[in-house]
Amino acid sequence: MGTAQIVTLIILVIVALYTILLYNGLVTLKHNVGRAWSNIDVLLKQRHDELPKLVETCKQYMQFEQQTLEKVMQARAAVSTAREAHNVPALSSAEGSLRTSLGGLFAVVEAYPELKADASFKTLQARIIGLENAIADRREFYNDSVNINNVRIEQFPDVIIAKKFGFKAFELLRFKADEITDVNVKTLFG
């Protein structure tokens, strides 16, 4: 075997190893996005299970606020549908509606001192608020994972491997501008 053949063979081995490293890196990124989504999914399921308990507790006190309770349950159903379909844009919109309806519910609760003092309500409210905070944290991790994946599949030479093996970009979990601004408390009580 001549020197030129050995050099060619070494170059081919290096290119093959480099291609394998790039491919494995992209696979890792893809699975990180999936893992991040699963983390959000678990929290959304937990909150989904807690909301009917909260609404049921509120029904005992809030006989004249059925519309507020129905909005929470409708928003809950929309989040569940979007989550099960892995529809990130629909989930973003449904999450905004759920946050708004929960904000309205917690504002209306202020008019019911007995409900605010109820131990079951306090526990459920604290649990849901904790889940909301955890969802926000996991959303940040998910979006970071998506961003890293999306940048890598557009960078050279990763883009070659990404296109050849069908690696796709993921969508960020975003909220509309009006859903992330401060709540106007006057409108909740108005």
Q: Which of 73-77, 138-142, 178-182 bottoms out in mean pLDDT, i.e. has the lowest?
A: 178-182
Residue 62 has pLDDT above 80, yes or no: no
pLDDT at 181: 46
Which of residues 9 and 177 earns the better pLDDT score?
9
HSE-CB of 50 using CA atoms within 13 angstroms: 20
> Mean pLDDT in the chain?
87
The residues, any chain, with a CB within 8 Å of residue 189's CB and separated by 6 or more, are 107
Give residue 73's pLDDT. 92
Question: What pLDDT, on a 0 to 100 scale, did the predictor assign at position 177?
Answer: 53
Instruction: Report residue 180's pLDDT band, with 50, 70 and 90 as the boundaries.
Output: very low
Please name each of the domains of the chain with its CATH number: 3-189 (1.20.1440.20)
| Residue 94: burial class (beta carbons within 10 Å; 0-12, 13-18, 19+) | buried
| CB atoms near residue 83 (< 10 Å) | 20
Quick check: 185 pLDDT over 60? no
Tens digit of each residue's pLDDT (9 = 90 or more) over 64-117: 678 888 889 999 999 999 999 988 889 988 998 998 999 888 888 888 888 888
Give the 3-state secondary structure of 100-157. HHHHHHHHHHCCCHHHHHCHHHHHHHHHHHHHHHHHHHHHHHHHHHHHHHHHHCCCCC
